Structure 1
Amino acid sequence: MNNAGIVIGIVIVALVIRRQLRTRPVHGKGGVVLLGVLGVLGVVALAFGVVSVVKEHAPGTVTVALLAASFLAAAGFGVARARMVTVWRAPEGRMLRTGAPAAMVLWLASLAVHIGLGEWIDHTTRAGLLGASTLHLYLAVTLAVQDLLVRRRAASVA
């Protein structure tokens, strides 16, 4: 991953962390919009990454396994962070949530894992584009898993 990609990743994660540490409604529409945007950007970026690699040679089994491991790690971090989210019913009846400050450590670890796996993926392809192209989709997966689990927990409290 190049320096610009690392900086963009850090800025995106910083904005997401800031958002998650604030108290906000569980069933807000902003999360769904964010997931949709990240998902679409992620699929498009991944497609361009795959096309750029395929021009040189087909990705090998190790590359595909590392891509899968990256998205499994994203899901795992989403599960761990969801457990750190406090969910409660406000006096007016709506469900609220806020993330624990300790979740910042998981976000930083998640970013480090993504960067490391991205570098490894790029090393296996010798093209240097595929690993970096997964950032948006990685964020979409980790946020979707976290959001799904938090919403499910809020529904059980309601």
Structure 2
Amino acid sequence: MHTTAGPALALLVVALIVRRQLRTRPVRAAAPLIGTAVLGVLGVVALTFGVASATAHHPLTAPTVALVVLTLALAVPLGVVRARTVRVWRGPDGGALRKGTALTTALWLGSAAVHAAMAQWIDHTATGGLLGLSTLHLYLAVTYTVQALLVRRRAARLTAEPAEPAEPAGTPTDTATDTATGAAA
């Protein structure tokens, strides 16, 4: 049963993330961290059960542990690359808005494929259990946190810039009027 449930769960989670990525949304200071914190906690719990399932009959080997670490490390550059594909712009109210692109979607699918391949490799070297699949939540937490932090940084720089290019000192921005007569000065 776990051979089809695992990939189906991974596909569902990635589909939900991609769906959210393709919507225009405001860039908020704390919202991404709450979701990734939940994913992180779920990831630690899942990894604990994954290690227990993998070590039920054999101890973990150094190559298996190295592959788990490599899987989580690969999540970082994938998040960096995806963050660069997200459109960030100033909305009508001056706040930053964000929306993923078709390339963002393709890179999310690529990230999912990387995790799936690494999970298979981990399970092959562990010779039992579900250790590879158990890294999914932590992998998503890491890669999404990196992407969210970089998008938030871009949004902060964007909203810190003036909305209109500043006029040089002494340049009138509109016609002055004489308040007493209402005539142009």
Q: Please state which band the TM-score falls in when normalised by the shorter chain.
A: over 0.9
Structure 1 residues 135 and 21 mapped into 2: Cα distance closer, same or farther (>3 Å)?
same
Q: Larger radius of gyration, structure 1 or 2? A: 2
CA distance in 2, matches of 1:28, 1:7: 32
Give secondary structure in 2 for the equivalent of 1:27. Answer: coil
Q: Which is richer in helix?
A: 1
Matched, 1:85 2:70: no
1:70 aligned residue: 71
User: What TM-score do you get using the length of structure 1 for normalisation?
Assistant: 0.94
- Structure scoring higher RCO (CA < 8 A, sep ≥ 6) equals 1
Instruction: List per-residue Cα deviations over 1:34-77 (Å, max 9, x = no partner).
Output: 11211111010001111222332321111111111111211111
Q: Distance in 2 between matches of 1:111 and 1:145?
A: 15
Aligned to 2:127: 126
* Pairwise CA RMSD: 1.4
The equivalent residue for 1:101 is: 102
Which position in structure 1 is the counterpart of 2:12? 11
What is the aligned partner in structure 1 of residue 118 from structure 2?
117
Q: How many residues align?
A: 158
Tell me the TM-score normalized by structure 2: 0.81
CA–CA distance in structure 2, aligned partners of residues 84 and 15 of structure 1: 18
Q: Match of 1:36, as an amino acid? A: A
Q: How far does residue 6 in structure 1 lie from its aligned partner after superposition? A: 0.4
What is the deviation of 1:29?
4.5
In the other structure, the counterpart of 1:149 is: 150
Tell me the residue number matched to 1:23. Answer: 24
Instruction: Name segments (4+ residues, structure 1) moved above 6 Å.
Output: none
Which residue in 2 is equivalent to 1:139? 140
